[in-house]
Chain A
Amino acid sequence: MRPDLLIKNALIIDPSQKTDRVADVMISQGKITRIGEKGTVPVQKDSIIIDVAGFVVCPGFIDLHCHLREPGFEDKETIATGTRAAAAGGFTTLCCMPNTNPPLDTRATIDYVKQKAEADGSVHVLNIGCLTKGRQGKELTEMYELADAGVIGFSDDGDSVASSRVMHLAMEYGRILHLPIIDHFEDNDLANGGVMNEGWVATRLGLKGIPAAAEEIVVARDIALAKLTGARLHIAHVSTEGSVELISNAKEKGIAITAEVSPHHLTLNEERIMGSPARKNKYLTYDTNAKVNPPLRTKKDIAALIQGLKDGTIDAIATDHAPHTSVDKLCEFGLAAFGISGLETALGCLMNLVHEGQLDLITLISKLTCEPAGIIGTKHGELGTLKPGCQADITIFDPNKEWVVDSQNFVSKGKNTPFDGYQLKGKVMVTIVSGNVIYHDTSIKIEGY
């Protein structure tokens, strides 16, 4: 019999129940059994007690968008290392993208990942299946079969579905599954060869840019198709003001659309490529750690994204965790791989917005918990909540703890982060998955762990 777990003096913020109070939480047999006023929760004899005074306790974070690289790119990350990194970042559920090698476009490959996650994974792993065979953008995958295998959505992420006709078919065919289609919003023609945002920084650095319109064109197209077909559309990693506007208008018209934004798009702009505030550079740098798709945009875009979070245009925050080896990143900017290893810095850099007064804590937590849970649905259980009776997936963090990002200490194999050397304020202290403490900061001692 697993010992019970009592979390004492928790400042519980659970947007799903609109809770914001100090209480004790009792976990038994992997479920939350009771939340009660300090001292009112009865404790079993050999229960493990964690005193989290000063910390925030909330439902475990859910990441709608991350890349675990297995199968095929195990040098960049594996399900084992990726899920451990997730735990270190406070994420108890991951939705992993299917752009692996081979891509996850059949039941067999999805089942492989499920098995691996079962065996090696430290947190819950949910699957997103490919939209088209081989992610080629030509023929649809067996969407019903994949749905049966448990995918929570469909995506060719990494590539846009270039053909409007194919996207139309995908939406029509899969509509009654009520699973979101997640397009990668990038017009290939306009974006082709671009390596960062089209703007004055690209001119300064002599690099080919990806204009904001490249994203907005596909967003507009897919919204029109979603309107036409009634299918569910989910906008991954929104990055521009124009996209936010399009999504807002679509929602007003009642189109079934949801959207996510990444922590790096909320906090870094294109100037970060030229140099890091955490390092004194004598010469210009071309920092490949800031090379990501969609690219870091402008301050104006950031303001629009934050506003979009506040007014509900953007439903969720997802990391788009994209680990790469140093070989892929330690090279000329134009040749470097796109992507940021973001699981372990997500909370820290998002808390920046809270500390600066740009976003309130409850909104932030809802975008990481109940809102993504709402997009996933209840097929895999009730996620993103601390309701008694539910699975005990809990994140405990210290909103004021200051720490310095050191990528060499990352749990993830991917050390590619633009936040290296940054001083952040806000850190995950304990992560509990199905009632087990999967991660705890070294400064906390927990009996038995």
Chain B
Amino acid sequence: MKTIEPKSVTPIAETFPPPSISSWNHHHVLDLDDFTREEIELTLEITDAMSEILTREVKKVPTLRGKTIINLFYEPSTRTRSSFDLAAKNLSADTISLDASRSSIAKGESLIDSLRTLRALGADVVVMRHSQSGAPYLAAQHVNTSIINAGDGWHAHPSQALLDLYTIRRHLGKLADLKVVLIGDIKHSRVAHSNIWGMTTMGAKVTLCAPQTLLPYGLADFTNQCHIPNISIEPRIEVAIKEADVVMPLRLQLERQQSGLLPTLREYIHLYQLNEKRLSLAKPNALVMHPGPVNEGIEISLEVAHGAQSVIEEQVTNGIAIRMALFYLVAGGKSNET
């Protein structure tokens, strides 16, 4: 209760529905493991509004004018970085992309020092990609600039999982009770990990399909300890994919074969490639998704990648909308954490 005093700026709240993103509780976006169902819903809703902007001729709104968003990428990436960059620019923020190999980071500057420098330069949000799991958590502990994790080691890639959820809901109208099948290198895939959190939170049932050497260690223990429901493992693709609503083959990195986790690519393709024959075992309107970049002919056949059920390209467009939503949520307002 306060006595009212004449204010020089009267907020225009009276002509609006009252501001109410009280369910949003994140200064950083590090992984989906601590997102409630409401927070994911909220993000998807805002993404909807953002995707409308992407249909306009002038894809720009002034929302983050004057804010600075810095991309700090320790791992090379064209698609994700461009996606974040465009998202920031669409919201009229100023953006800079730092490529670790060509900056002071390569000269041995520590991660924390680099972040402090960026904060001193006026960064409001730092988008970070790093090859070491946990790097953005270290950053978040020591610097209070908002951090958005664009991928850390094997650990998490929250914006990718969110855009996957958004894409699925756009086509299938819901997420609860859907059967989602992830195929391939689950162990080393941060996309798979964040998707496991996100999808199970929204009520989907996730099936993991991979050879044992590409499955995370102690999965049963992990799902138990972390109370993750609705996960099953099925190493045979023909069984896993039956009646699936969403099929998501993951990129197989060639070094997996080189480091001995697989005998040959040939055997992997023989056992796990998503081709038309196998896809026909899924539901007729099942979605084919892929985090990209796609290794055509390896984890997915050319026909399926470019087929009618593939939404791979749309995922890329949705990625920009999701990232705009995240920037809006994290940066579009007074920082409420010191």
Contacts and interface: CB of A to CB of B under 8 A. Distances in A.
A332 B133 CA distance: 8
A203 B135 contact: no
21 contacts: A199-B221, A200-B217, A203-B218, A203-B222, A204-B225, A205-B134, A206-B133, A206-B134, A206-B153, A207-B154, A283-B30, A283-B137, A283-B141, A284-B30, A284-B31, A285-B141, A331-B110, A331-B112, A332-B132, A332-B134, A334-B132
Contacts, number: 80
Given A206-B156, A206-B193, A286 B222 contact: no
Interface in B187-213: 190, 193
A209 B217 contact: yes
8 nearest CB pairs, A to B: A206-B155, A286-B134, A206-B133, A332-B132, A206-B154, A200-B221, A200-B222, A200-B218
Given A283-B28, A335-B132, A203 B216 contact: yes
A167 B156 CA distance: 42
B133 A207 contact: yes
B222 A206 contact: no
B75 to A, nearest CB: 13
A284 B155 CA distance: 12
Interface string B124-142: 0000001011110110110
Given A204-B225, A284-B137, 16 more contacts: A198-B217, A200-B222, A202-B217, A203-B217, A203-B219, A204-B226, A205-B155, A206-B134, A283-B140, A283-B141, A285-B137, A286-B133, A286-B137, A286-B138, A331-B138, A334-B153
A330 B110 contact: yes
A333 interface: yes
Interface in A147-205: 198-200, 202-205
B133 A333 contact: yes
Nearest to A273: B134
A295 B12 CA distance: 57
A406 to B, nearest CB: 19
B85 interface: no
Q: For the side of the interface on A, what is the size category?
A: 20 to 34
B185 interface: no
A209 to B, nearest CB: 6
Q: Among the interface residues A206, A285, A333, which one has the most CB atoms of the partner chain B within 10 A?
A: A206
Contacts of A284: 30-31, 33, 134, 137
Contacts of A330: 110, 112
A119 B132 CA distance: 44
A209 B152 CA distance: 17
Interface string A312-336: 0000000000000001001111110
Contacts of A199: 217-218, 221
Interface in A423-444: none
B303 interface: no
B68 to A, nearest CB: 23
Interface in B126-174: 130, 132-135, 137-138, 140-141, 152-156
A206 B190 contact: yes
Contacts of A204: 222, 225-226
A331 B130 CA distance: 12
Given A199-B221, A200-B218, A285-B137, A206 B152 contact: yes
Contacts of B217: 198-200, 202-203, 209
Interface string B262-280: 0000000000000000000
B45 interface: no
A200 to B, nearest CB: 4
Nearest to B187: A203
B34 interface: yes
Nearest to B188: A206
B225 A200 contact: yes
A207 B134 contact: yes
B111 interface: yes
A204 B221 CA distance: 10
Contacts of B193: 206
Given A283-B140, A286-B138, A334 B133 contact: yes
Interface string B101-139: 000000000111000000000000000001011110110
A97 B120 CA distance: 44
Contacts of B219: 200, 203
B218 A332 contact: no
Contacts of A286: 133-134, 137-138
Contacts of A334: 132-134, 153
Nearest to B130: A332
Contacts of A333: 132-134, 138
B155 A332 contact: no
Interface string A226-238: 0000000000000
A332 B138 contact: yes
Contacts of A285: 137, 141
Nearest to B25: A282
B260 to A, nearest CB: 11
Interface in B203-244: 216-219, 221-222, 224-226
B293 to A, nearest CB: 21
Contacts of B111: 331-332
Contacts of A332: 111, 130, 132, 134-135, 138
Contacts of B34: 283
